[in-house]
């Protein structure tokens, strides 16, 4: 295990840097500290264990690579969104593992910053960044997937205590999380969007049961979570009881446009890996040089450039103080479909490799088979393609639904 | 619109350009040239010495987009590019283009052979996709792979074919050059064509953006007002999702263009803007036609004019060859994988 336990000198120095100097500092730190075994584009790849991931992400935070825009008072680095973009570009360039706490850092944290009390911000936010609390998201239910407003999990208040009863599903990472961001109903089902509240529920609380669900890639990362009369203190209720849905929508808008901002640059890393693997195999090298596949590679490059353009435009809009509104749906729709096109191309190419498979082709096959399967989820989670198209039609084009 | 002074924004040109394009609707080609020149629109990127505004390419984007949206029947992109391309070695010609006195165009497809004879050069060959060539005073042709020459249309040995191709708005012509003699001073250096095409790709993307925007607006209007089965078309999810996909493509083109004229943009970003426009532009105009149903297939509904224009612009920039070239450059620049990680 090679993860850094002490603060490296670069991190302290980076605090005074901005712009390109900041980029160089982040790049140096990542390259010096990212263990080779964590990189899925190398022969030494061995997926990190949960404790390894937690230690690595805590080290990234100490180096200035998490909580980048969060206020310093709550453990953040107090930097600009442009610097967040720079850091993400550097993170994306490397084939490093996905965060095990992206829900904490990119969903729960921003919601707490928006609607949490001062006490909640001081209690929850540093714990997320230091990886003491890993979060999961309890929104979807068996009867409320895309139609989130019909959720049935109920929260009943009695003085300073709430009791939560119900069931959540598709809760990624619940088995490893300490806290779940639960959206629950406080009023009647007919109220739809009104009467929803959010809670930071401890997953070791009495009455919580987590059951993993095996996904198409054979992993057991997403789960069902059952809440059986779970007691939650008022101090773990986020925002006013009827503010839950409004807060969720507001944060989801921004989150959809800014989360995992490194995607375009990771996508680029994947394309580079695919082509380098192909270039190492005489049959594949000839194939990718032929016009048919050269055009397909060209199309993927355009997809990546358009994705970067979506991301950079969103950052510009937010920096200029514009509301991002529903525009995040455009970027989400584009990347999820573009990534599936790329993954299908990668499989198609690598299937034509010469035998016996060269080590570099084996490494690429292992990576891109996993990416292909995982990419099938990308047009489903965080709002399916059909939901995103609906959002664009309703809120961007404002198409009439009337008779 | 302020034409001088600091702090001028490209978007400020959009309104002026849209008005000028609308004004041009009933004018002849030469009248359009003078009208557009009077509004300062032909010299947006040309040097001040030749009567231009000397602004970056980003300022030409809303002008060309407005021309696309308004179906301007004038070779505006060509005039804008020629004003700048000719400004150093053929300043008089550049000035005449920028002032609207001279009607100039560019033959985007094909190249001619050139032989030096004393102080002259003799050109032979076929070129095509020269917008409005039958009425132009001169046109630019590619020589070999990268050089170019400005050729007067009344030179002996030039035959302009009848307009051919889909585009009705800015009709394209093939031109035959048979022993056409031009002064050696009309030949531009080897790097000319590459620079010209790189800028043209951004402006083509802008023209496609304008057309695609107009198509989506028409489709949206039709879907909101046309009633079937007792409801507006836009009530149906199939229609809503089709329009949402068109919007996704449109914003992809718009953002890619913005990125291609940003401070750090290079050849890749310019190619990507054109290719995004090429890929999404036809899907948007074809989709808009489909949403109009049978009416979309009629001559009177202008969606087909945009579709024709978009297809002509794609062909001018040769989307398929450009994608293959982009892919090959990328593949050729990447070293074979070793056992070590390729990250970075």
Nearest to B184 by CA among B223, B145, B143, B156: B143
- Whether chain A has a CB inside 8 Å of the CB on B322: the answer is yes
pLDDT of amino acid B341 = 46
Kindly state the helix (H) or strand (E) to which residue A170 belongs, with its residue range.
strand A161-172
pLDDT of amino acid A3 = 45
B262-268 contacts: CB < 8 A, separation 24 or more? Answer: B267/B198, B268/A301, B268/A305, B268/B326
Check: CB of residue A207 under 8 Å from CB of residue A230: yes
pLDDT of amino acid A288 = 96
- Which of B220, B234, B244, B332 to substitute to test the interface with A, most A CBs within 10 Å? B244
Residue B233 with chain A: CB contacts under 8 Å: none
Mean pLDDT of chain B: 94
Residue A247 has pLDDT above 90, yes or no: no
- Whether chain B has a CB inside 8 Å of the CB on A91: the answer is no
Do B224 and B298 belong together in one domain?
Answer: yes
Please judge whether A310 and B252 are an interchain contact, meaning their C-beta atoms are less than 8 angstroms apart: yes
Kindly state the average pLDDT of the residues A257-275.
93
Number of domains observed in the structure of chain B:
3
Prior bond of A356 cis (ω within 30°): yes
Query: Would you say residue B343 lies in a domain?
Result: no
Do B313 and B205 belong together in one domain?
Answer: yes
- Whether chain B has a CB inside 8 Å of the CB on A354: the answer is no
**CA B51 to chain centroid:** 22
Nearest to B21 by CA among B42, B1, B4, B2: B42
- Whether chain B has a CB inside 8 Å of the CB on A306: the answer is yes
Query: Which residues 139-198 on chain A approach chain B with CB closer than 8 angstroms?
Result: none
Tell me which chain A residue has its CA closest to the CA of residue B245: A389
pTM of the model: 0.92
CA B85 to CA A106: how far, in whole Å? 49
CA A39 to CA A70: how far, in whole Å? 28
Tell me which chain B residue has its CA closest to the CA of residue A89: B344
Do B318 and B287 belong together in one domain?
Answer: yes
Please judge whether A94 and B343 are an interchain contact, meaning their C-beta atoms are less than 8 angstroms apart: yes
Check: CB of residue A239 under 8 Å from CB of residue A116: yes
pLDDT of amino acid B3 = 41
- Per-residue buried b or exposed e for A291-313, using 16+ beta carbons within 10 Å of the residue's own CB: eebbbbbbbbbbbbbbbbbbbbb
Do B71 and B155 belong together in one domain?
Answer: no
Query: Would you say residue B2 lies in a domain?
Result: no
If you search the block for the tokens 């997953």, which residue do you land on? Answer: A203
pLDDT of amino acid A245 = 72
How long is chain A? 403
pLDDT of amino acid B74 = 98
CB-count burial class (<10 Å; 0-12, 13-18, 19+) for B12: middle
Do B180 and B291 belong together in one domain?
Answer: no
Residues of A marked active site are found at 255
- Whether chain A has a CB inside 8 Å of the CB on B320: the answer is yes
Query: Would you say residue B41 lies in a domain?
Result: yes
Query: Would you say residue B85 lies in a domain?
Result: yes
Task: Give the residue from B77, B102, B127 where a domain finishes.
Answer: B102
Residues near B309 by Cβ (< 8 Å), separated by ≥ 6? B68, B71, B167, B169, B170, B207, B211
- Whether chain B has a CB inside 8 Å of the CB on A364: the answer is yes
- Quick: pLDDT tens for A122-159: 999 999 999 999 999 998 898 877 777 788 999 999 99
Do B196 and B278 belong together in one domain?
Answer: yes
Residue A395 has pLDDT above 70, yes or no: yes
Residues near A190 by Cβ (< 8 Å), separated by ≥ 6? none
Tell me which chain A residue has its CA closest to the CA of residue B319: A295
**What percent of chain A has pLDDT above 90?**
74
Query: Which residues 236-255 on chain A approach chain B with CB closer than 8 angstroms?
Result: none
Pairing of strands A135-138, A154-158: unpaired
CA A288 to CA A345: how far, in whole Å? 11
pLDDT of amino acid A14 = 61
pLDDT of amino acid A12 = 45
CA B111 to CA B123: how far, in whole Å? 10
Query: Which residue in B243, B244, B337 is closest to A360 by CB distance?
Result: B337
Q: How confident is the model at residue A241 (pLDDT cuts 50, 70, 90)?
A: confident
Check: CB of residue A347 under 8 Å from CB of residue A278: no
Query: Would you say residue B344 lies in a domain?
Result: no
Say how many C-beta atoms besides its own lie within 10 A of residue A32's C-beta. Answer: 11
- Whether chain A has a CB inside 8 Å of the CB on B252: the answer is yes
Query: Which residue in B220, B325, B341 is closest to A42 by CB distance?
Result: B341
CA A131 to CA B81: how far, in whole Å? 56
pLDDT of amino acid A244 = 66
pLDDT of amino acid A293 = 98
**What percent of chain A has pLDDT above 70?**
95
**CA B322 to chain centroid:** 15
If you search the block for the tokens 């009344």, which residue do you land on? Answer: B154
Query: Which residues 31-70 on chain A approach chain B with CB closer than 8 angstroms?
Result: 31, 34, 36, 39, 41-44
Angle at A332 between CA B274 and CA A294, to 5 degrees: 40
The token pair at A264 is: 């375009």
Residue B235 with chain A: CB contacts under 8 Å: 400-403
Domain span including residue B297: 192-337
Sign of the torsion angle spanned by Cα atoms B276, B281, B286, B292: positive
pLDDT of amino acid B231 = 93
pLDDT of amino acid B297 = 96
Do B314 and B299 belong together in one domain?
Answer: yes
Q: What is the DSSP letter of A290?
A: S
CATH number at residue B229: 1.20.140.10
If you search the block for the tokens 């619109």, which residue do you land on? Answer: B1
Pairing of strands B138-143, B104-109: parallel
Query: Would you say residue B4 lies in a domain?
Result: no
Residue A346 with chain B: CB contacts under 8 Å: none
pLDDT tens for chain B, 344 residues long, are 334 445 678 888 899 999 999 999 999 999 999 999 999 999 999 999 999 999 999 999 999 999 999 999 999 999 999 999 999 999 999 999 999 999 999 999 999 999 999 999 999 999 999 999 999 999 999 999 999 999 999 999 999 999 999 999 999 999 999 999 999 999 999 999 999 999 999 999 999 999 999 999 999 999 999 998 899 999 999 999 999 999 999 999 999 999 999 888 899 999 999 999 999 999 999 999 999 999 999 999 999 999 999 999 999 999 999 999 999 999 999 999 875 444 54
CA A238 to CA A120: how far, in whole Å? 8
Query: Which residue in A42, A309, A360 is closest to B256 by CB distance?
Result: A309
CA A205 to CA B51: how far, in whole Å? 76
Residue A19 with chain B: CB contacts under 8 Å: none
Do B97 and B108 belong together in one domain?
Answer: no
Do B303 and B196 belong together in one domain?
Answer: yes
Do B111 and B67 belong together in one domain?
Answer: no
- Whether chain B has a CB inside 8 Å of the CB on A125: the answer is no
CB-count burial class (<10 Å; 0-12, 13-18, 19+) for B191: exposed
pLDDT of amino acid A1 = 39
CATH number at residue B90: 1.10.540.10
- Quick: pLDDT tens for A290-332: 999 999 999 999 999 999 999 999 888 888 888 888 888 999 9
- Quick: pLDDT tens for A6-33: 444 455 446 667 788 999 999 999 999 9
Task: Give the residue from B40, B67, B102 where a domain finishes.
Answer: B102
Q: How confident is the model at residue A403 (pLDDT cuts 50, 70, 90)?
A: low
Nearest to B98 by CA among B134, B68, B135, B60: B60
Residue A40 has pLDDT above 90, yes or no: yes
Q: What are the C-alpha distances in Å from B30 to residues B100, B104, B162?
A: 7, 11, 20
CA A363 to CA A45: how far, in whole Å? 8
Task: Give the residue from B142, B172, B189 where a domain finishes.
Answer: B189
Q: How confident is the model at residue A224 (pLDDT cuts 50, 70, 90)?
A: very high
Do B216 and B275 belong together in one domain?
Answer: yes
Do B153 and B67 belong together in one domain?
Answer: no
CATH number at residue B184: 2.40.110.10
Please judge whether B340 and A43 are an interchain contact, meaning their C-beta atoms are less than 8 angstroms apart: yes
The token pair at B131 is: 């917008």
pLDDT of amino acid A164 = 97
Query: Would you say residue B95 lies in a domain?
Result: yes
Mean pLDDT of chain A: 91
Query: Would you say residue B222 lies in a domain?
Result: yes
ipTM above 0.85, yes or no: yes
Residues near B235 by Cβ (< 8 Å), separated by ≥ 6? A400, A401, A402, A403
* C-alpha distance from B116 to closest chain A C-alpha (Å): 36
- The answer for B118, left when phi > 0, alpha when psi is -120 to 50, beta otherwise, is left
Q: How confident is the model at residue A191 (pLDDT cuts 50, 70, 90)?
A: confident
Residue A239 has pLDDT above 90, yes or no: no
If you search the block for the tokens 């302290």, which residue do you land on? Answer: A12
CA B88 to CA B54: how far, in whole Å? 13
Check: CB of residue B54 under 8 Å from CB of residue B46: yes
- Whether chain B has a CB inside 8 Å of the CB on A279: the answer is yes
A95: phi then psi, degrees, rounded to nearest 5: -85, 55
């Amino acid at each position: 295990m090679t993860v850094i336990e002490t603060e490296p000198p670069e991190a302290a120095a980076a605090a005074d840097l901005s712009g390109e100097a900041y980029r160089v500092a982040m790049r140096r730190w990542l390259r010096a500290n990212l263990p080779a075994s964590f990189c899925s584009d190398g022969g030494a790849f061995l997926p990190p264990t949960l404790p390894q991931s937690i230690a690595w992400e805590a080290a990234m935070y100490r180096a200035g690579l998490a909580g980048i825009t969060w206020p310093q008072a709550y453990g953040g680095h107090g930097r600009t969104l442009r610097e967040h973009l720079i850091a993400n570009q550097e993170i994306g360039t490397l084939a490093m593992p996905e965060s095990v706490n992206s829900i904490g850092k990119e969903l729960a944290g921003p919601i707490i910053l928006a609607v949490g009390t001062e006490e909640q911000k001081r209690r929850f936010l540093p714990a997320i960044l230091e990886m003491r609390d890993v979060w999961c998201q309890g929104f979807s239910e068996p009867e409320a997937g895309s139609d989130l407003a019909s959720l049935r999990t109920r929260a009943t208040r009695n003085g300073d205590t709430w009791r939560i009863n119900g069931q959540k599903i598709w809760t990624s990472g619940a088995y490893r999380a300490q806290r779940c961001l639960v959206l629950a109903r406080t009023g009647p089902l007919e109220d739809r969007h009104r009467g929803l509240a959010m809670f930071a529920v401890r997953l070791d609380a009495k009455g919580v049961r987590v059951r993993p669900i095996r996904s198409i890639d054979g992993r057991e990362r997403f789960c069902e979570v059952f809440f059986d009369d779970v007691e939650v203190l008022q101090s773990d209720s986020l925002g006013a009881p009827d503010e839950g849905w409004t807060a969720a929508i507001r944060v989801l808008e921004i989150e959809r446009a800014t989360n995992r901002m490194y995607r375009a640059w990771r996508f680029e890393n994947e394309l580079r890996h695919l082509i380098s693997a192909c270039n190492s195999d005489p049959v594949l090298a000839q194939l990718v040089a032929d016009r048919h596949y050269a055009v397909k590679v060209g199309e993927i490059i355009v997809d990546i450039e358009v994705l970067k353009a979506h991301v950079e435009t969103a950052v510009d809009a937010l920096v200029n103080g514009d509301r991002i509104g529903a525009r995040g749906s455009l970027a989400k729709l584009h990347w999820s479909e573009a990534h599936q096109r790329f993954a299908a191309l990668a499989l198609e190419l690598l299937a034509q490799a010469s035998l016996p498979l060269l080590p570099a082709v084996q490494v690429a096959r292992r990576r891109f088979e996993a990416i292909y399967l995982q990419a099938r989820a990308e047009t489903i989670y965080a709002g399916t393609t059909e939901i995103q198209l609906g959002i664009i039609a309703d809120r961007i084009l404002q198409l009439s639904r009337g008779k | 619109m302020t034409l001088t002074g600091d702090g001028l924004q490209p978007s400020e040109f959009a309104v002026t350009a849209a008005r000028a394009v609308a004004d041009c609707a009933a004018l002849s080609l030469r009248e359009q040239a003078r009208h557009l020149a009077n509004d300062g629109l032909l010299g947006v990127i040309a040097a001040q010495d030749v009567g231009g505004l000397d602004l970056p390419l980003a300022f030409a984007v809303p002008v060309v987009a407005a021309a696309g949206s308004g179906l301007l029947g004038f070779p505006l992109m060509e005039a804008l590019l020629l004003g700048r391309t000719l400004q150093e070695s053929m300043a008089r010609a550049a000035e005449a283009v920028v002032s609207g006195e001279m009607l100039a165009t560019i033959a985007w497809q094909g190249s001619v052979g050139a032989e030096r004879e004393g102080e002259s050069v003799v050109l032979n060959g076929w070129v095509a996709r020269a917008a409005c060539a039958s009425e132009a005073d001169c046109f630019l042709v590619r020589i070999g792979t990268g050089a170019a020459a400005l050729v007067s249309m009344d030179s002996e040995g030039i035959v302009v074919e009848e307009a051919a191709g889909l585009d009705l708005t800015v009709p394209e012509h093939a031109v035959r050059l048979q022993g056409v003699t031009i002064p050696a001073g009309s030949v531009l250096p080897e790097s000319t064509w590459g620079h010209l095409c790189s800028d043209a790709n951004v402006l083509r993307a802008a023209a496609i953006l304008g057309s695609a925007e107009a198509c989506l607006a028409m489709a949206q209007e039709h879907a909101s007002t046309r009633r079937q089965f007792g409801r507006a078309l836009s009530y149906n999810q199939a229609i809503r999702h089709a329009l949402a996909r068109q919007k996704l493509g449109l914003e992809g083109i718009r953002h890619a263009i913005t990125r291609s004229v940003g401070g750090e943009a290079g050849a890749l970003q310019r190619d990507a803007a054109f290719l995004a426009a090429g890929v999404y532009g036809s899907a948007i105009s074809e989709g808009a036609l489909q949403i109009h149903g049978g009416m979309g297939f009629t001559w009177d509904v202008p969606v087909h004019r945009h579709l024709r224009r978009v297809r002509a612009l794609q062909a001018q920039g040769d989307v398929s060859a450009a994608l293959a070239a982009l892919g090959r450059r990328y593949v050729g620049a990447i070293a074979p994988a070793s056992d070590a990680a390729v990250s970075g």
